[in-house]
Amino acid sequence: MQLITRRKAKGERPKVLRLTSHVSRLAAFVLLAPCSLLKGDCPRFTDGASLRRRIGTVPVIMLLTAYGLVLTGSARAEDRFSVKYQHYEDDKSIYYKDAKGVTSDRWLIAISKAITEKTSLALNYGVDAISSASWKVDGVTSATKRAGEETRYSGGLGLNHTIGTVNYSANLGLSRENNYNSNYLSASVAKDYNKRNTTVALSVSKAWDDIYSTKIGDSRTFPMSKDTSTVGLSFTQALTPWTIAAIGHEYTMAEGYQAHPENVVCLDCTSINRAYTDEVHPETRYRNASVLRINRYLPWRGALHADYRYYHDSWGVGSNTLGLKYYQYLSDDLVLRLRGRFYTQGAADFYFKNPSATDSYPTIDGKLREFDSLMYGVKLIYNATKAAGKAGIKVGEKINLDLKWDVYQQADAITSPTKVAGPSTGLKASIVQVGLGMEF
Amino acid sequence: MKLWLLVVALLSLFLAGCASLELVQPWERETLADPIMQLEPDPSEAAFDEHILSTREGSAGGYGVAGGGCGCN
């Protein structure tokens, strides 16, 4: 992508800036948003698209709102603005044995603005560009090929209101991509007890999804639908001046089409009578997830976060997750975080390495196989408020920059002769994330 | 059924433990208010993580990260 600067004088050739990295593109979006909205003689992209056309009107308006908060000084202490960018890349498909992995570039803009003493409004907008998101399968040879790029757009609107020790929030949102549309509503209420040492929170949400098929020659009737309802209850307790803990449970009920419309399953693949069919999953799924979290402050300006999740669902998938995060102040303004996440999962009741024609639910969904995974990484969080002040930049009460790198990898367990090693083994992913947050 | 028993047992232990605790007074909350002690210090990162993991693993939920569905592969 290239960016052409404005002409400074008649006849002067504009400069062409090559935006080779995603970070430089994001920086260009943020810096040029006001100019784009004013419809001035703005820098433009070499394909002729304006900034507004390139990223859409909504995020540009959100960026302008953030600028407005800074320039007019009308912001309250609880007003926040953040931009987050993430690059994800893995090396293997979790569906097809010889297919390549997925690359995705995702960014998210979020704004929270107090509209009264007790009420705040939140907006978020995200774009997720995914390459190799689907694989089209030749029904004869089962060969796979890349389907190119897909883009997912998502947006959300939230309202938060506090009355005494009770906090109410309501959110609505949607996401759109070429083969999947989703709309959701959620609400929660949280009440403090014991001089704000205990918080009890109840949340409910409902999502309505429409699924389409991009498979060539698909004879099934689309869109198909899926409705998902979730109820959550949590207790948070300050145990000591240095320790806080939380326990919570979520119950989710999903009804409707839950397979992947593009996935093709090879039945009795090792025999001469092999055949191909569409993937089929049960139409109901009940999920239960219980989480225990403990955060402990350490005397050398550090903190240890530990969490454990027990998960089980009606498809037979059960898992245990242990998460550890260690935070350490390296200076007053710089925090280092190290993380480790350990996950082990059992296979769904209907998942088999070699599906046969007698299976009720033929699937190649690698998420349903038995495997372990490990995630580890490092993150730096820099409080840039002082540095910005010294440089004469006044953009709110607090400015945070963060940078993280995580590695995620899966390893297949070999404990059963029939439910083992899915189509891909040893998936390895790299995740890089950059963020900017401001409080006003 | 076993799951609900586990949840009830954990909850009972948690609440029983809380009942015998001394309240943390407002002037003792300095470390609890530190950004590195928040249960969810970076909600955007948590949402990104949940999105990646729920499209790579069979489990999802429990951490209170809300959001719509997707057809992400």
Q: What is the pLDDT of residues A346-395, one digit of tens each?
A: 999 999 888 888 999 999 898 999 999 999 999 999 999 999 888 888 77
Assign residue A346 the CATH number of its domain: 2.40.160.40
Domain tally, chain A: 2
Domain range for A51: 1-8+15-55
Domain match, A108 and A170 both = yes
Residue A146 has pLDDT above 50, yes or no: no
Domain match, A28 and A175 both = no
Does residue B45 belong to the interface with chain A, where contact is any CB pair within 8 Å? yes
Domain match, A158 and A110 both = yes
Does A60 map to a domain? no
Pick A345's closest partner by Cβ from B14, B18, B57.
B57
Q: pLDDT tens for residues A243-257?
A: 999 999 999 999 999
Does A34 map to a domain? yes
Sign of the Cα pseudo-torsion (A161, A163, A164, A167, in order): negative
Does A98 map to a domain? yes
Pick B59's closest partner by Cβ from A244, A247, A319.
A319
Does residue B72 belong to the interface with chain A, where contact is any CB pair within 8 Å? yes
Which of these ranges, A223-232, A305-314, A423-432, has the smallest mean pLDDT?
A423-432
Give bridge partners of residue A18 from the DSSP assignment. A2
For residue A326, give every residue at least 6 positions away whose Cβ sits within 8 Å of its Cβ, in sequence order, or none.
Answer: A302, A303, A304, A305, A337, A338, A339
Does A335 map to a domain? yes
* Interface predicted TM-score (ipTM): 0.82
Determine whether the interchain pair B34/A289 forms a contact, defined as Cβ–Cβ distance below 8 Å. Answer: no
Does A360 map to a domain? yes
Domain match, A130 and A24 both = no
Does A3 map to a domain? yes
Determine whether the interchain pair B63/A291 forms a contact, defined as Cβ–Cβ distance below 8 Å. Answer: yes
**Residue of B24, B25, B40, B53 best to disrupt the A interface, most CBs of A under 10 A:** B24
Domain match, A108 and A223 both = yes
Give CA–CA dist A12/A7, Å, rounded.
6
Does residue B24 belong to the interface with chain A, where contact is any CB pair within 8 Å? yes
Domain match, A315 and A291 both = yes
Domain match, A406 and A294 both = yes
Give CA–CA dist A60/A69, Å, rounded.
14
Domain match, A29 and A151 both = no
Percent of chain A with pLDDT over 70: 75
Residue A123 has pLDDT above 80, yes or no: yes
Sign of the Cα pseudo-torsion (A49, A53, A55, A57, in order): positive
Does A341 map to a domain? yes
Does residue B20 belong to the interface with chain A, where contact is any CB pair within 8 Å? no
Q: What pLDDT score does A101 carry?
A: 83
Q: Which residues of B touch A246 (CB under 8 A)?
A: 39
Q: What is the mean pLDDT of residues A175-181?
A: 91
Does residue B31 belong to the interface with chain A, where contact is any CB pair within 8 Å? yes
Question: What's the token pair of residue A349?
Answer: 């009741």
Domain match, A2 and A92 both = no
Which of A81, A85, A123 lies closest to A104, judged by CA?
Answer: A85
Q: pLDDT tens for residues A266-276?
A: 898 888 888 98
- Helix, coil or strand: residue A158: strand
Domain match, A156 and A101 both = yes
Question: What's the token pair of residue A54?
Answer: 């390139």
Determine whether the interchain pair B48/A84 forms a contact, defined as Cβ–Cβ distance below 8 Å. Answer: yes
Domain match, A284 and A428 both = yes
Q: Which residue has the higher pLDDT, B3 or A85?
A: A85
Pick B34's closest partner by Cβ from A234, A252, A297.
A297
Pick B71's closest partner by Cβ from A198, A211, A402.
A211
Q: What is the mean pLDDT of residues A192-206?
A: 95
Determine whether the interchain pair A319/B10 forms a contact, defined as Cβ–Cβ distance below 8 Å. Answer: no
Residue B64 has pLDDT above 70, yes or no: yes
Pick B70's closest partner by Cβ from A182, A194, A247.
A182
Domain match, A219 and A138 both = yes
Does A419 map to a domain? yes
